[in-house]
Chain A
Amino acid sequence: MLFWQILIDGFAISALYALGATGFTLIFGVSGVLNLSHGAIMVGAAVAAWAAASEFGVGPYTGALIGIIAGFILAFATYFIAVRPIQRSKVIAESEKEIFILTATLLWGIIIQEAIAYLFTNNAKTVLPIVDGVTTWFGVRTPKNEYFTAVVCWVAIGLLWFLVNRTRRGKAVMAASMNPRGVTLLGIELSSIYLTVWAIYGLLAGVAGILLGMFLGVSSYSVGPLTASAFSIVVLGGLGSVSGSLIAAYVVGYLETGTAYLISPAYRTIPALLLLVIVMYLRPQGLFGRR
């Protein structure tokens, strides 16, 4: 019984972690940007979906759509406000652009977070779920929404895989992540690749945010922890490796769920953090990273 509970809960939460971290790792893989406003974008999309569905009464489907649009807008705003000006700056030394992008996206994330807190208060918000009801499998009562979350996450990740490996545009994106200069030699604009990537990112972060809002609820306080957990999963899996972050998401998700059920919810995050330290000590490039 407990075994099945951990297996089911862990699977759903891990799928969510995987989806949340995928966009983050994609952006890093292609353009070398560590986007520290990641958590804020996810929460922003969730809050937009919540406000539309619950406050303005447009229902769960339209609400989710509005949330995804919000994710898009926030992702593009992040790119145009906090990332592109620094990438193109002639005043900032090349070696320092990383810390500037980190600081700028961090500040941008705080701005989104505070705007949410101001407009919608700090209270936790639960996005109206698309599927209702509870189902019992293996003697474990689980909300149907939990299965729905896992399925949507994997469909989204599958679509991303298809896009990157089977479409022309996706292949160009993949090529740009390996050799940006080579891609420009082939006559493809790097800036249009970046726009594509940020658009995909907006979609992934938006969907992940809304699902998170349905499954666990969000508030402006979730911003920092969400960014930190995506960052750790991505580093554990290896920066820039999408399959690495999927596996890492499952490792972290199951470690946390197992700890919460078997030991105590208070210790939930500790084993995952310890594992992260050990991996970084033995294998700094992460489990599946390339150096």
Chain B
Amino acid sequence: MPKFVSSRLFWIGLVTVIVALVLPTYVSGYVLGLLTVAYYTAVFAMSWDLLFGFAGEVNFGPTFLIGVGAYTAGILDAHFSPGLSIWLCIAAGALAAVVGGVVLALPALRVSGPYFGLTTLVAVLMLQNFIVVAAGLTGGEIGLAVPDVISIDAKTNYWIALGFMLVSGAILFGLSRSAIGLILQASGQDKIQAGALGFNVTKHKLAAFVVSAFFSGLAGALMVFYMGTASVSTFVDVGVGVQIIIAAVLGGRRTVIGAAIGAIFLIGMGELLRPLGELATLIVSVIALVVILFFPDGFLGMIRGGAKA
């Protein structure tokens, strides 16, 4: 995309950011709280898109990285509360996610396709089992109560989440447009050819895994200190991972920004339809399925008017 600044995408992005910036003046704390969660989810989805969209690997385990980050930060805070600063806990969470990402990537990158998918899925199931079995440390099925929060003010939390989403979005987007992103894309489309051109495919995928893990873990840790609690159902469950994948595909793969739009849409729709009770998830899933079947390039593809096709 050479004329990026003059593209429609850029202007839509700019308007969206301006709306997001003035929003806290006009809406209630409840809406801000919802958007705060949506922004963190957006980071999860963008991190996933970097790994899948560009490296072409179906990662079923985004919540493994998120869970490791979230629980590391939460457990540290729960056990050393006043002595250890929140920010140290968050940094430790991000670091632990990176370590977890490398541990997961080493066996996972040796396989591909469905096997890669399953390796990452098993990682999530193992983490979930571990959390339930080590209840003394992790709070088990009930969840882990974290004594500290970043702030109790809805606006402060909103600003932190928004800022974090914009910064990580910019970094991930920049990375996807850089030489590394191009190599990843090439290796995703034709692994052997990319290797023949002299690119170390595995090294680049590992790098994508590490970056993805860093942002997922960081977002998970920040979200723990926003919610004041960590539980399997919000951070680790396979269902959460499914939502992240759907968000990224729905928004438009290989766009990074689309993943964020998809995540905000999913959270917003889910909440909007909440009065319908059980039907809410059903309707959101039907919408997502229709978009995937008829607009495979997702929301961003719709905005661009199928220019890519």
Contacts and interface: CB of A to CB of B under 8 A. Distances in A.
Contact of B121 (A104, A111, A228): A228
Interface residues of B, number: 42
A117 B278 contact: yes
A221 B289 CA distance: 21
Interface stretch (B12-20, B173-181, B194-202, B241-249): B241-249
Interface string B247-265: 0010001000000000000
Contacts of A102: 58, 117
A114 interface: yes
Interface stretch (B75-83, B91-99, B107-115, B217-225): B107-115
B309 interface: yes
B111 A284 contact: yes
Interface stretch (A88-96, A195-203, A246-254): A88-96
Main secondary structure, interface of B, reads: helix
B171 interface: no
A1 to B, nearest CB: 28
A138 interface: no
Interface stretch (B33-41, B208-216, B280-288): B280-288
Contact of B133 (A86, A266, A285): A266
Contact of B113 (A91, A96, A98, A267): A98
Interface in A193-240: 224, 228, 231-232, 235, 239
A111 B282 contact: yes
Contact of B118 (A92, A111, A280): A280
A19 interface: no
Contacts of A280: 107, 111, 115, 118-119, 122
B278 A106 contact: no
B121 A231 contact: yes
A11 interface: no
A281 B107 contact: yes
A82 to B, nearest CB: 7
Contacts of B133: 266-267, 270
B144 interface: no
Interface stretch (B1-9, B65-73, B124-132, B157-165): B124-132
B279 interface: yes
Given A103-B245, A114-B279, A108 B289 contact: yes
B193 interface: no
Nearest to B110: A284
A269 interface: yes
A273 interface: yes
A211 B282 CA distance: 27
B292 A104 contact: yes
Interface in B261-309: 277-279, 281-282, 285-286, 288-289, 292-293, 296-297, 309
16 contacts: A98-B58, A99-B58, A99-B253, A106-B246, A107-B289, A110-B285, A239-B114, A270-B126, A273-B122, A276-B122, A277-B107, A277-B122, A280-B107, A280-B111, A280-B119, A284-B115
Interface of B: 52, 56, 58, 107, 110-111, 113-115, 117-119, 121-122, 125-126, 129, 132-133, 188-189, 238-239, 242, 245-246, 249, 253, 277-279, 281-282, 285-286, 288-289, 292-293, 296-297, 309
Interface of A: 34, 81-82, 85-86, 89, 91-92, 95-96, 98-100, 102-104, 106-108, 110-111, 114-115, 117-118, 224, 228, 231-232, 235, 239, 266-267, 269-270, 273-274, 276-277, 280-281, 284-285
The 5 closest A-B pairs by CB, nearest first: A114-B282, A284-B111, A118-B278, A107-B289, A110-B285
